[in-house]
Structure 1
Amino acid sequence: MKIIDKYVISEHIAPFFLAFAILMFVMLMDFVIDVLDMIIEKGVQPGTVFQLFFLNISWMVALAVPMATLVASVMAFGRLSGDTEVVAMKSNGIPLWRIVYPAIVVGGILTVAMMFFGDLVLPKANYRAKLLTRQLVHKRPTLSIKPNVVVKDFPGFLLKVGEINHRMSEVKNVTIYDNRDRLHRR
């Protein structure tokens, strides 16, 4: 590995990890809000919620790595170009493809790694998360129902619930619409 390769790759490392951390933080915070709602309002056991939380990290990684790679490339080559280092390298006879080559190789390695991750890890984690979610909904049917929102989970029927007590699994002001004939309120 030549010095220029090490230099170009080293310019990508800090922006990659910074972008990865920021992207994961944003996605995790969105998920944490839902998780806290499950613990506080709906009374789900914290251990189950944390298991669901860790199972969902895999799809976040699958989204964050490509985006972080893009951000790292833009930032690294932007800095190299902004400091006229690309011009200095080209004036020393280094072709542009040689400057970009290390980033392409590392990008290819990350692509192959993410293909294996997406093929081996991601489906299993998503399946287990979906299975755990179904088990939670089966144990506590009110988890999937939100107040004053029409639920379309039941074939031929629409369900609207006015109030929900998740701890007691009670619902009030229930309206069921029968879609089998016409939209009749019963």
Structure 2
Amino acid sequence: MKKLHIFILSSFTPKLLLTFLIALFVLLMQFLWRYIDELVGKGLEWTVIAELMMYASASLVPMALPLAILMASLMTFGNLGEHNELTALKSSGISLVQILSPLIIFTIILSILAFLFSNHVLPYSNLKMRSLIYDIRQQRPEFQLKEGVFNNNIDDFSFRVNYKDPKTGLLKDIIIYDHTEQNGNTKVTIADSGYMKMTANKAHLIVTLYHGRTYIESNENISYSRKKGYYPHRKEKFDKQTFYINMDGFDFERTSESLFRNHYQMMNIKQLKYY
């Protein structure tokens, strides 16, 4: 009987592990597909993505484990029935309960471990995952210039370039609308070429322009001037111009996890009694 139990368990456990990994992978891909729009285009480090996948995998264990047990049981006893091994065991006087007893004991132990996991590990992983998803949602899209398309990711500025050299980073035919004064398109800079690069700490964007002009529309008596058919403005010509743009909001910042601790998914049984 001991050899029979070892045989049943040795047939069941590899299938359980395999089906568990497959079920977890499928659920993880579903999770990734759900949040893919919030992950791409934000310049996140691979460590942040890996951390999110790790906590998401832990939170999906309670769903993947029952599926794995079901599929592994079907595969194990399906193979036994296909090779007439169940018939041979029954004909030798071994009841179905005796055949199933090692798996029943094994699943009871597995259920206890799953309960401990759900009570202690799952709330922690849910807390980490939810807070990380919140931080990713708050992260602003990465600043990337595309040829011929206006980029409005930076507050109070709108950029457009007609050509970007992929090797040197040289930009040509640059148009920059400055909305810092909140007066509409009253200040625009046009340059033949230039460069844009981040500082070492990624706190500012350094914009260097060559051979351009800046047009600044005057706000004095603007309504009267427009009625008369002319628009007073100031034009500044430059050979080289450099200015810095604040890049607040582009750094990945972590929110305090205390904001999410009061949710029931982040609590164990003891904490839920006082919820």
Query: Given the two structures, how large is their TM-score scaled by the length of structure 2?
Result: 0.48
Between 61-70 and 95-104, the greater mean CA deviation after superposition = 61-70
Compute the displacement of 1:139 (Å).
4.7
Between 13-22 and 89-98, the greater mean CA deviation after superposition = 13-22
Per-residue CA deviation, residues 146-179 of structure 1 (Å, 9 max, x unaligned), is: xxxxxxxxxxxxxxxxxxx795479xxxxxxxxx
Q: What is the rounded CA distance, in whole Å, between the counterparts of 2:92 and 2:84 in structure 1?
A: 13
Q: What is the one-letter code of the residue matched to 2:19?
A: A
- Percent sequence identity is 31
Match of 2:5 in 1: 5
Does residue 133 of the first structure (1) align with residue 136 of the second (2)?
no
- C-alpha contact 1:20 1:64 (8 A) present in aligned 2: yes
Compute the displacement of 1:91 (Å).
0.9
Structure 2: runs of 5 or more not aligned: 142-150, 157-275
- C-alpha contact 2:39 2:136 (8 A) present in aligned 1: no
Match of 1:27 in 2: 27
Compare CA radii of gyration and give the structure with the larger one: 2
- C-alpha contact 1:55 1:126 (8 A) present in aligned 2: yes
Structure 1: runs of 5 or more not aligned: 143-164, 171-186
Q: What is the rounded CA distance, in whole Å, between the counterparts of 2:5 and 2:70 in structure 1?
A: 18
Compute the displacement of 1:14 (Å).
2.3
Between 113-122 and 61-70, the greater mean CA deviation after superposition = 61-70
Match of 1:104 in 2: 104
Q: If each structure's helix is expressed as a fraction of its own residues, which one has the higher value?
A: 1
Does residue 89 of the first structure (1) align with residue 84 of the second (2)?
no
Q: What is the rounded CA distance, in whole Å, between the counterparts of 1:107 and 1:98 in structure 2?
A: 15
Q: What is the one-letter code of the residue matched to 2:57?
A: I
Residues 75 and 168 of structure 1, relative CA distance in 2, 3 Å threshold: farther
| Secondary structure of 2:94 counterpart | coil
Match of 2:66 in 1: 66
- C-alpha contact 2:28 2:56 (8 A) present in aligned 1: no
Q: What is the one-letter code of the residue matched to 2:28?
A: L
Q: CA RMSD in A?
A: 2.6
Does residue 113 of the first structure (1) align with residue 113 of the second (2)?
yes
Q: If each structure's strand is expressed as a fraction of its own residues, which one has the higher value?
A: 2
